[in-house]
A and B are shown apart, each in its own frame.
Chain A
């Protein structure tokens, strides 16, 4: 039974590559949105604070799948027609950004107030304080929850099977439709996801160990 499955390996590899590249792009969008919303929540300009709060509230309070549908099926009605790939990256990225914003916010509150104060006393500008002192420390605190979120992003790419992105899940469904072997193909698919998520968490464990040398 196993040898004839080998013919599907190139197809699986291609679908896996798609999952990987979508995940990378989603994470980029997610960090940008997350950072903007986290800093927006601390802004001295009230409308920016409201916008950030609304964004986080809306995203965390609605199903990810509905958000994907809104972007892919809903936006064209507003004149914004996106390819399945772009709509998927956008929806998942904006979705994850709300969670990343909360992660960053919890990281920010973990930095002692004295860090801000000392930077202020040295005449360091607010922006430089953030980029050179606060955020680098925040980053190493939030690396573990950030990894979890990246793993969620990777798994969420399977939702894009519903909007015709030929990633791993949709690919295996298509094969199953012709081969009638759901067990083998879904197990194979699960194993591929597992390999990718394991690599991600190993990578983060490595980064964390490297950081540990300086932080205590």
Chain B
């Protein structure tokens, strides 16, 4: 569906250079550089507090980096310590409509039906007509098997269903890339699978994705590259199949054994 139309012309879709981010005196990101090709799936793993969420939030500028450079298609922004890093609301919104983001908590609009949840943003942000928005929402809901729930409210759905609606709500903006921040962490174990398979489907269709996850098996299967975060830097990175089987550092080995043996 949302297959990226652009040919693989060699330039990465997303380029982060030396991203730094401080909250007060605490430096949370200490120079992170990542390039993501169109259609590439990058997994980000690492301990709690290592800066994974902060990095994702810097990509769509929900957090403004303290330093570094972000390129996303035509959008370029440079940040420097001690400079006022202000970007116009219009540019921000344009960037955000092209990068979808899904969170650990589903955050559906509780006062709107499932259908309205999917229609709302395209209508008010992109000016899509109600009819077109409805048509698209029907298709998206049909694809996740929730078409007959269109008039239900989020509270009437299971966590897994809500999270899948949250994913198609983001897809309704027809983004060029998707950011996933531990989207299965809040789910009951038996509901994790349905969300992961939707993500795997998107990956197969060519969506560019950055996925923060503790699901190591999923990362190994679906992502081509894995970044291991530790204390605000990418401590290790490489092709997922190799890196996740054969980490080099003790820190990553410890981290992996911890998450792999974690049982619910």
Chain A residues within CB distance 8 Å of chain B: 112, 114-115, 117-118, 120-126, 128, 132-133, 136-137, 140, 213-216
Query: Which B-chain residue is minimally distant from A137 (CB atoms)?
Result: B111
Chain B residue numbers with a CB within 8 Å of A213 are 153
Contact A216 B153 (CB under 8 A): yes
- Since A122-B169, A125-B125 are in contact, a sample of 11 more A-B pairs with Cβ atoms closer than 8 Å, ordered by chain A residue number, is A121-B60, A121-B62, A121-B96, A122-B100, A122-B121, A122-B125, A122-B173, A123-B93, A125-B89, A137-B110, A214-B113
Interface size for B (C-beta < 8 A) is 29
A124 to B62, CA, bound (A): 12
A133 to B121, CA, bound (A): 11
Chain B residue numbers with a CB within 8 Å of A126 are 89
Query: Which B-chain residue is minimally distant from A122 (CB atoms)?
Result: B121
B107, B170, B173: which has the most chain A beta carbons within 10 Å?
B107
A140 to B89, CA, bound (A): 30
- A74 CB to closest chain B CB (Å) equals 43
Contact A121 B101 (CB under 8 A): yes
Chain A residue numbers with a CB within 8 Å of B105 are 112, 114
- B196 CB to closest chain A CB (Å) equals 20
Chain B residues within CB distance 8 Å of chain A: 60, 62, 89, 92-97, 100-101, 103, 105, 107, 109-111, 113, 120-121, 124-125, 153, 155-156, 166, 169-170, 173
Chain B residue numbers with a CB within 8 Å of A140 are 111
Contact B96 A123 (CB under 8 A): yes
A120 to B89, CA, bound (A): 11
Query: Which A-chain residue is minimally distant from B90 (CB atoms)?
Result: A125
The 24 listed contacts between A and B (C-beta, < 8 Å) are: A112-B107, A115-B107, A118-B101, A118-B103, A118-B107, A118-B166, A121-B60, A121-B62, A121-B101, A122-B96, A122-B97, A122-B125, A122-B170, A123-B92, A123-B93, A123-B94, A123-B96, A124-B125, A125-B125, A128-B125, A137-B109, A213-B153, A214-B111, A215-B110
B95, B97, B121: which has the most chain A beta carbons within 10 Å?
B121
